[in-house]
Each structure stands twice: as C-alpha cells, then as structure tokens.
Amino acid sequence: MPPLRLPAVTAVFALSACSAILTPAATNYPVTEQVDFTKLGGMKHGEACARTILGIFGPNGHASVAAAAQAGGLTRVVYVDNRYDNKFLWQNFCVIAYGE
C-alpha cells in the first residue's frame, strides 16, 4: 500500500466511529396510572426514525414522540420506547410511542 493511502484509510475508519448520545424521554405531565406492559403488544403504536450516514451526515428524519404519535394516529401516548440500530455505514435512531 502506498504511503499516501494509509492516512486516508485511517481517516475513513476514524470518521466512521460509533458514537451516540441517547437521552431518556422526559415529560412535565404527571403519570396518574400504572402502565401494564403485557398490553403493549395489543396497543396502537407509531414509530419515527432519524438516520445518520457515516456519523457525520444527518440526522435525516424526525425521531420525536410527536412524530411517532402522529405516524401511529395516537391521541394519547401512554409509553415511549426507542431503538438504536448501528450498521457499518449508517445509524438509525427510532422512537416508538404506544397509546390510544
């Protein structure tokens, strides 16, 4: 390998490093009832995702609770979850909202 290619290969691997900052969903609204997690499978749900390419291009999309609720046709959100998929060239961060 010619000496000029080594820095380029090193830069590609350094720029495609995996890193993520995930903040938990927070709300100012009081939770007045317990969530029965066994009922999540039967609840309506919506998902909203954002994709980042090579760790530097993005995020592309709206991964928010509001976007997930709108995608699922929810008028009341009971529970929020998230999923992070990390592939070699891209990363997806998805918010899943459950409710009525």
First to last CA, the chain: 59
What digits encode the pLDDT tens for the residues 15-31?
Answer: 655 555 555 555 555 66
What pLDDT was estimated at residue 66?
A: 92
Residues whose CB falls within 8 Å of the CB of residue 62, separated by 6 or more in sequence, listed in order: 48, 50
Per-residue pLDDT for 6 more than 60? Answer: yes
What pLDDT was estimated at residue 59?
A: 84
Residues whose CB falls within 8 Å of the CB of residue 72, separated by 6 or more in sequence, listed in order: 44, 45, 46, 47, 97, 99
What is the rounded CA–CA span in Å between residue 46 and residue 71? 5
- What are the start-end ranges of the E strands in the chain? 44-53, 57-61, 77-86, 90-99
What digits encode the pLDDT tens for the residues 29-51?
Answer: 566 667 677 887 888 999 999 99
The structure's pTM equals 0.67
